[in-house]
Structure 1
Amino acid sequence: MRTDDDSWDITESVGATAIGVAAIRAYETSREDALFHDPYAAKLVAAVGSEGWNAMMSGALSRRSISDGDYQAWSMGNVLVARTVYFDEYFAAAVRAGIRQIVILAAGLDARAYRLEWPSDTRIFELDQPKVLAFKARALADGEPAADRREVPVDLRQDWPKALLDKGFEPDQPTAWLAEGLLRYLPGHAQTQLLEHVVELSAPGSRMAINLGTGSGDPADEFRERRRKVMADAGLKLDLEDLFYPWEGREDPRSWFAMHRWLVTEGDPVALLEDRGRAVPEAVRAGMTQHILMTATKPRGDDTL
């Protein structure tokens, strides 16, 4: 059961979800028709030393008592692939717009500082629990970031703006923020507080990218039990919904940013995959449409609302 002051390392609670994301990115990278390439994902999963996570990374779990389509549904594979493509393109657009300050909130095992192309003067701040960042540093010790990567070990429910500023963040410079796979792991009030901090720290021209499941697409109890059993058989004890805070009492970030006079654009995860030639199983299409992909941009003086 989650509490407002709980903590974790990479192998437990919310930390373990980062391994699952890396495993799916590694699996996607291994496909002949891969929509992105993350050569660091497999290394991060292997560093955990878990047969279960290695099985997910190789796609072997899809052959354990469930169909391929069902596997894609319970693993959120389609959503994770779509959001990875969306956010990779988001950062590419930010760089083209001249933004050189990047903040990844709850960075987990995100390897974008290593695998994407960045101008040499880019600074990338990665915020997460100290134990999570320490694990990633060990696993990627022989890697070389493509930009000035700065770790900010902090709990996002605490005073993370001070920790970020102490690492050299410049609030007068436009920033590209990312909250990937984060907001449902925060209580509603903590989500609002985090977004308020982002607005306060953002210079004109800054942008914020977010994904968030609305709750209406959460799986039924029967489906959750089937997924739980498959994972348990592989030695993995993880139930995403047990880690989520409820959607109720939470503000929709699309309307929240619009209310703060940021320009909001949305992405469609189903269309994003299909436009790139990736078929989306009918069984997961409805759930994907309940998943928010969005970018909010703080207008400059010459922008119009």
Structure 2
Amino acid sequence: MTTNADVPEGLNGVGATALGVAALRAQESRRPDRLFDDPYAQHFLDAVDPATSPWAVAETPGDVDFLRLTAEQVALRTRFLDQALLHAAQDGCDQVVLLACGVDTRAFRLPWPTGVRVFEVDFADVLAFRDTVLTQHGATSTCQRVEVAADLREDWPRTLIEAGLDPTRPTAWLAEGILYALPPEATDLLLERVTAASAPGSVLALDHVEDSELLRTTRAEISAELLDLWQGGPAEALDTWLARYGWRPSVHDATEVAAHYQRPTPAAFAPERADTGHAWLATAELP
């Protein structure tokens, strides 16, 4: 068993929220009415020295206000994005790209159609940390899996294509927990690169969160670094932004998705509170 592992450099700062999300995935997986099952999520928390990560200190995610407020949103987005990727794969996207995958386990826990290749893109040390934990717990992938060590601030499409992605065939892309950590110009560059590497019929699945007084307050309780690393994301509405790059979007407010899954509106986005914002889940197809 892996215990007291060092947190990789790529999981410091805003990237370290991947461990917080793992805690929430583990919590959701323990619910009898769970929206998904991630049998590996808790292993990442167990592998981390609590002295190196605020996410590993709390006995339950509810002990950290930021996690308590975002727990339902993470559960909703995980289920929504799981289904979006599986539907895209079933409809012919046999290439799936998980951007900044962190400690994502979709290549291991989802029932992928035969022949699907999942490309997992992140820093090399993050991929190594995740693989060490999963290997020591006997995890087996349910698809063809390709790890791509790359920095999204650099020329990652070239690295991805060199790893085997075929830009002439439809691809399902995942941008989970990314947009709000980027300034507007960086989100534009990200979408420009995704679009350039996409063939007609490709699908993009993503989430976005509007910052708010409540989220800023609870992030500040964890660290100033986490507070400052939220950069706002696209400068325009998601549907307008996606359409500007040629995608055909379908955007859903978190309250709408919560009602669909018979869950309460996430506390961080409760419309009756003046100090909350909005969260969205979206898919888009390239005609």
Partner of 2:22: 22
The residue type equivalent to 1:110 in the other structure is: D
Partner of 1:266: 251
The residue type equivalent to 1:49 in the other structure is: D
Partner of 1:53: 55
The change in CA–CA distance for 1:226 and 1:80 in structure 2 (over 3 A counts) is closer
Partner of 1:245: 231
Deviation of the 1:212 alpha carbon? 1.3
The change in CA–CA distance for 1:121 and 1:256 in structure 2 (over 3 A counts) is same
Retained in 2: the 8 A contact 1:23–1:56? Answer: no
- Deviation per CA, 1:75-130, whole angstroms, max 9, x where unpaired? x1121111111101101211221211000111011100000001231100111122
Among residues 293, 300, 304, which one is paired with 2:281 in the alignment?
A: 293
Partner of 2:149: 153
Which 10-residue stretch deviates more, 153-162 or 94-103?
Answer: 94-103
- 1:28-107 matches, within 5 Å, as 28-50=28-50, 52-54=54-56, 56=58, 58-59=60-61, 61=63, 72-73=68-69, 76-107=70-101
Structure 1 gap ranges (5+): 1-7, 232-236, 300-305
The change in CA–CA distance for 1:219 and 1:240 in structure 2 (over 3 A counts) is farther
Deviation of the 1:175 alpha carbon? 0.4
Are 1:122 and 2:124 matched, yes or no? no
Deviation of the 1:282 alpha carbon? 6.2
The change in CA–CA distance for 1:292 and 1:280 in structure 2 (over 3 A counts) is closer
- Deviation per CA, 1:15-46, whole angstroms, max 9, x where unpaired? 21110111111111112221111111111221
- SS of the aligned residue for 1:199 comes to helix
Are 1:214 and 2:210 matched, yes or no? yes
Deviation of the 1:49 alpha carbon? 3.0
Deviation of the 1:260 alpha carbon? 2.9
Please give the TM-score of this superposition, normalised by the length of structure 1: 0.81
The change in CA–CA distance for 1:100 and 1:109 in structure 2 (over 3 A counts) is same
Partner of 1:175: 171
The residue type equivalent to 1:291 in the other structure is: A
Distance 1:120 1:95 in 2: 10
Distance 2:195 2:158 in 1: 15
The change in CA–CA distance for 1:262 and 1:140 in structure 2 (over 3 A counts) is same
Distance 2:117 2:266 in 1: 39
The residue type equivalent to 1:180 in the other structure is: E
- SS of the aligned residue for 1:256 comes to helix
Retained in 1: the 8 A contact 2:255–2:266? Answer: no
The residue type equivalent to 1:196 in the other structure is: E
Which 10-residue stretch deviates more, 186-195 or 168-177?
Answer: 186-195
Which 10-residue stretch deviates more, 33-42 or 268-277?
Answer: 268-277
Retained in 1: the 8 A contact 2:219–2:227? Answer: no
Distance 2:171 2:268 in 1: 38
Retained in 1: the 8 A contact 2:100–2:121? Answer: yes
- SS of the aligned residue for 1:125 comes to strand
- SS of the aligned residue for 1:149 comes to strand
Distance 1:285 1:271 in 2: 12
Instruction: Tell me the matched-pair count.
Output: 273
Retained in 2: the 8 A contact 1:13–1:238? Answer: no
Q: RMSD across aligned C-alpha pairs, in angstroms? A: 2.5
Distance 2:232 2:114 in 1: 41
The residue type equivalent to 2:253 in the other structure is: D
